[in-house]
Amino acid sequence: MSGNIKRLLVPRTLALIGGAWTDAVAAGNERIGYTGEVWRVHPNRKSTAATTYYRCVEELPGSPDAAFIAVPSRDVAPIAAALRARGGGGFVCFAAGFSETGTPKASGSLRSSSRAPRRCRSSVPTATASSFL
């Protein structure tokens, strides 16, 4: 990702990746008068006249200055890698289930993930795509 933090703090383009929580972020941005481009990413949602949904980061029309990731923890690392590959400016991650719980079951870890970003459908594994609420 670019070393310019201004892209993250004052974004001209914003990618919202996930389901219900990104709906709240989109509404909040509208309420505060955000005038930049908002790109929605969800593997299953259908585009409407008001909102275009991209299936994955690789389909975005450009490199987002900022991204909000609200997906299951097991999907965060490949999405972060895809954003990095696209030259994204930075992201905020809203997920749980990493090692913060201190339990062996919390297998999600950004460092330990060996999944590399793959082309579109695979950047969000098909098996978990339905879990984007």
CATH number at 52 reads 3.40.50.720
Residue 132 lies in a domain: no
pLDDT, one tens digit for every residue, the chain (133 residues): 446 799 999 999 999 999 999 999 999 999 999 999 999 999 999 999 999 999 999 999 999 999 999 999 889 999 999 999 999 999 999 987 777 767 666 555 555 444 544 456 544 444 344 445 5
Residue 24 lies in a domain: yes
Domain with 24 in it: 6-100+107-124
Residue 129 lies in a domain: no
Residue 133 lies in a domain: no
Residue 64 lies in a domain: yes
Would you state the pLDDT for residue 131?
A: 45
Q: Over the stretch 80-91, which tens digit does the pLDDT of each residue have?
A: 999 999 999 999
Number of domains in the chain: 1
Residue 18 lies in a domain: yes
Closest CA to 93 of 75, 107, 111: 75
Residue 20 lies in a domain: yes
Residue 1 lies in a domain: no
pTM: 0.78
